[in-house]
Amino acid sequence: MSATPRPGDPVITAALVAEHGLTTDEYDRLVAMLGRTPTFTELGVVSALWSEHCSYKHSRPLLKTLPTKAPWVLQGPGENAGVISVGDGLAVAFKIESHNHPSAVEPYQGAATGVGGILRDVFTMGARPIALLNSLRFGSLESARVRYLFAGVVKGIGDYGNCMGVPTVGGEIVFDPAYETNPLVNAMCVGLMREEELILAVAEGIGNPIIAVGARTGRDGIHGASFASEDLSHESDAKRPRVQVGDPFTEKLLLEASLELIRSGHIVAIQDMGAAGLTSSSAEMAARGDVGVTIDVTKMPLREPGMTPYEILLSESQERMLVVALKGHEGEVKQILAKWDLAAEVIGEVIAEPVYRVTEGDRVVAEFPGSRLVTDCPQYHPAAAESPDAVARRARDVHAIAEKPEERDPLWTLRTLLAAPTIASKRWAYRQYDSTVRASTMQGPGGDAAVVRLPGSNKSVALATDCNGRYVYLEPRVGGRIAVAEAARNVACSGGRPRAITNCLNFGNPKRPEVFFQFREALAGMSEACIALETPVTGGNVSLYNESPNGAVYPTPTIGMVGIVDEPSHATPTAFQHAGDAIMLLGENTNELGGSEYLLTVHGVVAGAPPACDVACERALIDALLDAIQAGAVRSAHDCADGGLAVTIAECCIVNREQMLGATVDLAAWSALPRRALLFGEAQGRVVVSTADPARVLAAAQAHGVPARRIGTVGSAVDPLTFNLGEGRHVAPLDGLAAAFHDTIPSIMSAGALPAAAPEQA
Amino acid sequence: MTRYRVAVHIVPRRGLLDPQGKAVADALRSLGFPGVEDVHVGRHIVAEVQAADAASAEQSVRAMCAKLLANPVTEDFEIAGVNAA
Amino acid sequence: MTRYRVAVHIVPRRGLLDPQGKAVADALRSLGFPGVEDVHVGRHIVAEVQAADAASAEQSVRAMCAKLLANPVTEDFEIAGVNAA
Amino acid sequence: MRIGVVTFPGSNCDEDTVLAVAKVGATPVRLWHKAHDLEGSEIIVLPGGFSYGDYLRSGAIARFSPIMQEVMAHANAGRPVIAICNGFQIACEAGLLPGALLRNDSLKFVSDMVPLRVENADTMFTHKYAKGQVLRIPVAHGDGRFTADADVLARLEGEGQVVFRYVNAGGTADAQSNPNGSMHDIAGIVSAQGHVIGMMPHPERALDRMLGSTDGLPFFESLLARVAA
Ligand SMILES: Nc1ncnc2c1ncn2[C@@H]1O[C@H](COP(=O)(O)OP(=O)(O)O)[C@@H](O)[C@H]1O
Ligand SMILES: [Mg+2]
CATH code for the domain of D28: 3.40.50.880
pLDDT value, residue A548: 78
B34 and C21 Cβ atoms separated by less than 8 Å: no
Is D74 designated active site? Answer: no
Could you give the C-alpha distances from D66 to A48, C20, D31, in angstroms and in order? 45, 34, 11
pLDDT of A217? 94
Enumerate residues 6+ apart whose C-beta is below 8 A from A671: A725, A726, A727
Contact call for A756 and C23, based on CB within 8 A: yes
- pLDDT tens column, A555-594: 999 999 999 999 999 999 999 999 999 999 999 999 999 9
| ipTM over 0.90 threshold | yes
* pLDDT score for A287: 87
> Which pLDDT belongs to residue A230?
57
Residue A601: the pLDDT is: 97
* C window 27-46, beta carbon within 8 A of A: 27-28, 30-31
A335: CB partners within 8 A, 6+ apart: none
What is the predicted pLDDT for the residue at A226? 56
Strand order in the sheet with A537-543: A441-443, A450-453, A460-466, A556-565, A497-506, A537-543
Q: What is the pLDDT of residue A370?
A: 76
Mean of the per-residue pLDDT values of chain D? 97
Distance CA A412, CA A745 (A): 19
Query: Identity (one letter) of the amino acid at A306?
Result: G
> How far, in Å, from the CA of A181 to the mean position of ligand 2?
27
The structural domain count of chain D equals 1
Domains in chain C, ordered, with CATH?
2-84 (3.30.1280.10)
Q: What pLDDT score does A11 carry?
A: 92
Is residue A30 within 8 A of residue A46, CB to CB? The reply is yes
CA distance D88 to chain C (A): 15
Number of CB pairs, chain A paired with chain C, less than 8 A apart: 18
CB-CB contact of A345 with A330 (8 Å) = no
Q: How high is the pLDDT of residue A235?
A: 46
- What's the CA angle centered on A731, arms A727 and A733, to 5 degrees? 165
> Which residue is closest to D150 within chain C, CA to CA?
C16
Q: Please check whether residue C19 touches A, CB under 8 A.
A: no
Provide, as residue numbers in chain A, all residues whose Cβ is less than 8 Å from the Cβ of C20. 760
Spatial neighbors of A750 by CB under 8 A, at least 6 apart, are A756
Q: How far does residue A63's CA lie from ligand 1's centre (Å)?
A: 10
Determine contact: B20 vs chain A, CB below 8 A: yes
pLDDT at position A2 is 83
- CA atoms lying within 13 Å on the CB side of residue D172: 4
How much of chain C, in percent, has pLDDT values that exceed 70?
100
SS3 A222: coil
For residue A1, the model assigns a pLDDT of 62
Residue numbers in B near D53 (CB within 8 A): 19-20, 23
CA distance C69 to C78: 11
Report how far apart the first and last C-alpha atoms of chain D are (Å, whole number). 11
Distance between D107 CA and the closest CA of chain C, angstroms:
7
Cα distances (Å, whole numbers) of residue A285 to A316, A353, A365, B58, D18? 17, 15, 20, 55, 37
Cβ A593 vs Cβ A675: under 8 Å: no
Q: What is the pLDDT of residue A219?
A: 87
Nearest CA to ligand 1 atom 2: A540
* Helix or strand run (H / E) with residue A347: strand A343-351
A721-724 vs D81-84, strand pairing mode:
unpaired
Q: How many CB atoms lie within 10 A of CB B38?
A: 16
Q: Is there a contact between B31 and C80 if contact means CB atoms under 8 Å apart?
A: no
Task: Give backbone dihedrals phi and psi of C29, rounded to 5 degrees, phi first.
Answer: -60, -40
pLDDT value for A165: 98
Distances (CA, A) of A358 to A224, A228, A274, A756: 21, 25, 19, 47
Residue B1 predicted with pLDDT over 70: yes
Query: What ranges make up the beta strands (E) of D57-178?
Result: 81-84, 100-102, 110-118, 134-141, 145-147, 162-166
Residue of A nearest to D12 (CA): A165
* pLDDT of A241: 53
Measured CA to CA, the distance from residue C56 to residue C52 in angstroms comes to 6
Whether C36 sits inside 8 A of B48 (CB atoms) is yes
Domain range enclosing D55: 2-228
What value does the mean pLDDT take over residues D198-225?
96
Q: For residue A490, report the distance from its CA to the centre of ligand 2, in Å.
A: 28
The ligand 1 site (C-beta within 6 Å) comprises A 54, 63, 66, 77-80, 97, 121, 274-275, 503, 505, 537, 539-542
CA angle, D125 then D128 then D133, to 5°: 100
User: Nearest-CA neighbor of A740 among A661, A654, A675?
Assistant: A654
Give residue A271 CA to ligand 1 midpoint distance, Å.
13
Q: How many C-alpha atoms does A7 have within 13 Å on its Cβ side?
A: 0
Where chain A has pLDDT below 50, the residues are 233-240, 753-762
In what side-by-side order are the strands of the sheet with A267-272?
A: A267-272, A320-325, A209-214, A343-351, A292-296, A356-360, A363-368
Give the per-residue pLDDT at A236: 43
Contact A191, A291 (CB under 8 A): no
Q: CB neighbours of A326 closer than 8 A, spacing ≥ 6?
A: A205, A208, A266, A267, A268
Chain B CB contacts of C38 under 8 Å are 47-48
**Do A463 and A574 contact (CB within 8 A), yes or no?**
no
Shortest CA gap B80–chain C (Å): 10
CA distances from A762 to A240, A246, D57 (A): 19, 10, 10
Q: What is the pLDDT, as a whole number, of residue A224?
A: 60
Q: How confident is the model at residue D173 (pLDDT cuts 50, 70, 90)?
A: very high
A69 and A536 in contact (C-beta within 8 Å)? Answer: yes
pLDDT given at position A542:
96
Instruction: Reduce the DSSP state of residue D25 to 3 states and report it.
Output: coil
How far does CA A400 lie from the centroid of its chain?
A: 37
- Tell me the one-letter amino acid at A566: D
